[in-house]
Structure 1
């Protein structure tokens, strides 16, 4: 594959991505956003997070072992930190780091 082909592919993918991201702003620039879209926008992010959490925890929590202990501690850490600081980035980052440390260091 020559460099011009790669550049063309990247340019097309970038343009399409930009267009998809900008489309809602272009469509709803002059008029009010419909109520059902606002409702979806409010409910979709927590639903996506819930699906990701369930997907990530299905394996460690079904078979008891080191990963189960690490996942349980990381979950508790995320919940406590989020209740305490109300900072999603801090909670998720600390939980991820703690989980990685535990799965590497626990026997």
Structure 2
């Protein structure tokens, strides 16, 4: 990649990032009511994304061979427990991921 191509690529990345950050504030002004469909999406999209993450993570788990899905099940239980306890999605995801990695590295290696 030439220097010109690198500069164009970086500029487009900056433009795309700034556009996605500032566009909602330009479209949905403070003095107008947010449309119902946007409120609906804001309410249900985080849970839908979390559900897709779970499906994606478990798509190749085999319960008939290997560790029979035990590390995954334990990590899911830790994730759910952390979320019920603290109600913080980032902590839940990070805790479940760390638990899963530790189980794979030390217990089910």
- Answer yes or no: same fold by TM over 0.5: yes
Aligned match of 2:6: 6
Unaligned runs of at least 5 residues, structure 1: none
Q: Which has the higher contact order (CA 8 A, sep 6+)?
A: 1
Structure 1, 71-80 or 9-18: larger mean CA deviation: 9-18
TM-score by length of structure 2 reads 0.83
Question: CA-atom RMSD, angstroms?
Answer: 1.9
User: Displacement, 1:62?
Assistant: 5.0
- Structure 2 residue 13 is matched with structure 1 residue 19: no
Q: Deviations over 1:8-53 (max 9, x none)?
A: 2111221122113311110111422111211111111111111111
Aligned match of 1:46: 47
Is the 1:74–1:95 contact (alpha carbons within 8 Å) kept by the matching residues of 2? yes
Unaligned runs of at least 5 residues, structure 2: none
Counterparts of 1:57 and 1:79, CA distance in 2:
15
User: Displacement, 1:71?
Assistant: 0.4
- Structure 2 residue 78 is matched with structure 1 residue 77: yes
User: Displacement, 1:76?
Assistant: 0.8
Counterparts of 1:50 and 1:4, CA distance in 2:
41
TM-score by length of structure 1 reads 0.85
- Structure 2 residue 103 is matched with structure 1 residue 102: yes
Aligned match of 1:31: 32
